[in-house]
Amino acid sequence: MSLPPPAENQAYCTVSALESGHLYVTNNLFINNPESDALERFPSLSFLLQHSSSNKRLLFDLGIRKDWRNAPPKLLASIPPTFKVEVEQDVVESLAKGGLGPDDIDIVCLSHVHFDHCGHSPLFSKSQFVVGGETKKVIEAGLFPANAESVYPAEVVPTDGRTRYLGDDVHWVPLGPFPRAYDLYGDGSLYIIDAPGHLWGHVNILVRTSADGGWIYLAGDTAHHWNLIHGTSGIACNHAGHAISHQDKEVAGQTIKRVGEVSKLPRVRVLLAHDKPWYEKNEGGDAFFPGSILSL
């Protein structure tokens, strides 16, 4: 198994991490054998991907909105009182650190529409939004306030024609361990990966980070803890046997296995949306915009 070799004059993307909030939660939400039940601080990361030749800018996830307390009541009620949400710096403020604003972003790709990833879409009024096709199921179920029971706000994604749903009409191809990958720019620089199991429409990104064969795999919420990737823990379940943090335990497990496989390939760096170990090593450093993550 391998990833596509670089072409002559291969395009790639520069990848920068962006601060976009933190969650204080316990590991028993994620893994079945946590060492502690103490609250831990997890980042909610966004990423800026800048294309080497076209200079197009793509944001992968928008993190947590600054005014998160304005989220739908059902969502706020679902957050245990012992947990904590913190947004000292949102994605817009993180972009400003490097002199960019929302209007400078060509594409926003959401891994999925949970509140700690979808931010506040009206801030990006000129960007195209790209989401997994099954995100439509969330929309069709009804959004708050029209559906008072929904945890998703009406503006979770734009409804003015700027949102592209990657469904069966897209030319998906197998890539490495993944059955379905979409070459977004058509030049092998950035692939959107269908990554089912966590939530309807969950996608990841595999991005080329150099002209000679470096890659970063942005895994979103495929896994919230590295033990799942390494195989030293199982997915946390409730008393009924249902996964706590995934919609479909079995399908999520298959996607986790595939991410584990790609992580073993040469020159591939895997990053989780809530990558606590990586964040603790890199917080405040050059990997964050206006700096960038070094290619392997």
Percentage of the chain lying above the pLDDT 90 cut: 99
pLDDT at 74 over 90: yes
Average pLDDT, stretch 275-290?
A: 99
Handedness of CA 93, 96, 101, 105 (dihedral sign): negative
pLDDT at 260 over 90: yes
Average pLDDT, stretch 265-275?
A: 98
pLDDT at 1 over 90: no
**223-227 contacts, C-beta under 8 A, 24 or more apart:** 223/30, 223/256, 223/259, 223/272, 224/29, 224/30, 224/42, 224/272, 224/273, 224/274, 225/27, 225/30, 225/31, 225/272, 225/276, 226/272, 226/275, 226/277, 227/31, 227/33
Q: Hey, where are the domains in the chain?
A: 13-282
- Rounded Cα distance between 40 and 118, Å, is 22
Q: What is the mean pLDDT of the chain?
A: 98
pLDDT band at 146 (very low <50, low <70, confident <90, very high): very high
CB 94 within 8 A of CB 20: yes
| pLDDT tens-digit series, residues 191-212 | 999 999 999 999 999 999 999 9
- Fold annotation for 13-282: Metallo-beta-lactamase; Chain A (3.60.15)
pLDDT at 59 over 90: yes
Average pLDDT, stretch 130-143?
A: 98
- SS3 for 294? coil
Give the count of alpha carbons within 13 A of 51, CB side only. 19
